[in-house]
Amino acid sequence: MANLDAHLQAALAKIEQAGRRRVLRPAAIATQGRLVRDTASLIDFSSNDYLGLATHPLLTERAREWTQRHGTGSGASRLVTGTSAEVIALEHRIAAFKGTEAALIFGSGWQANAAAIPALLAALPGAAVFTDRLIHASMHAGLAISGTRQHRFRHNDLEHLAHLLASKGREAPARVILTESVFSMDGDVADIPALAALTREHDAILYVDEAHATGVLGPRGAGLSATVPGGVDVIMGTFSKAIGSFGAYLAGSRALIDWFSNAASGFVFSTALPPGVLGAVDAALDLLPDLDSERAHLTSLADRLRRGLGELGLDHGASASQIVPAIIGPEDQAMALASKLEARGFLAAAIRPPTVPPGTSRLRIALRAAHSAADIDALLEGISACR
């Protein structure tokens, strides 16, 4: 152990010297878009609880009901012991919410992507895979597990994708496109209708990660895939952000979900989520159709923030969602600004390489329906005073 620790301490020293060592800090989520960290109450601009459902009483009550009825743990993989009628019904609800034939629940978004992508490609030997350059690390992990080479297209550049499909995928037995609907570090969105049309044109398969769109964008919060019914072949989304709970889902055809339940290792070999977590998801699905005013409020807040950042001369990229980056550039400047803002009562986490490209360190500002216009103005005033 001492020998191992010596190696680990040396490795930690290297990231410390680079200014990239991360530490865990005590924190607790609160209501009204707040968070308590190290005993200080902060206006929270870093959590992904976009609709404030993580503290909603209906989710709390439903989680309690499911826990009292079924216990605190699921006990095993669903393929070993079976699945409760409530979970099967919940998957039917998710499929209806996404407008697909079927859905399958996974332990997390990372697990879903890392397990589903190699399973999908195992059914498509020799497939050519085309990926947006900014897809999530979990999707890259799934591709690495599969051993499949990627053809990366410039971020949200469908002309470049079309060129690659024609030049690299013409002779392949199948073509698979991987993207996100909302990109988590930039807050910009993919043109899902255009992607669906391009997919059909090239007889390809479209896989879309809807983690940051689920609950927030699209009709009834069903995500951007819901704007093109039947146009997305594989849809992944999470329950850990706007849904206010934990876990993830994959949605698509009945055959696709049957294949994943047989071939996605993260599903086959993982213990199922506990009942209380899924009870909260069930409650959130009751609420989502009636949260249009909260979604409109989020849009208004994001517009206000982007306008204010522009007036301060700060680049917010192509953000078009509830995620708004304030791009600072150098890592040390982004970290210093985040620290100064925290001292003023704002949590706006600094994001730096390797999560974002070198030279683009930023404050990743995540808005929540519980925030007010006054909260946005106060944050902008704080940024102006701390720069």
Q: Is 24 helix (H, G, I), strand (E, B) or coil?
A: coil
3-state helix, strand, coil in the chain (%, to 5): 45, 15, 35
Cα–chain center distance at 27: 21
| Alpha carbon separation from 298 to 85, 109, 284, 302, 366 (Å, rounded) | 35, 23, 18, 6, 10
- Output the CA torsion sign for 112, 118, 123, 129: positive
Residue 306: exposure state from Cβ atoms within 10 A (0-12, 13-18, ≥19): buried
CA distance 276 to 256: 27
For the annotated catalytic residues, the residue numbers are 48, 136, 180, 184, 209, 212, 241
Q: Is 234 helix (H, G, I), strand (E, B) or coil?
A: strand
Contact criterion met (CB below 8 Å) for 187 and 317: yes
Neighbours of 20 (CB within 10 A): 14
Please name every residue paired with 252 in a beta bridge, in sequence order, or none if there are none: 102
DSSP E strand stretches across the chain = 27-29, 34-37, 40-44, 102-106, 128-132, 150-153, 175-180, 205-209, 234-238, 248-252, 323-329, 346-347, 350-351, 361-366
Contact criterion met (CB below 8 Å) for 50 and 215: yes
CA distance 161 to 152: 8
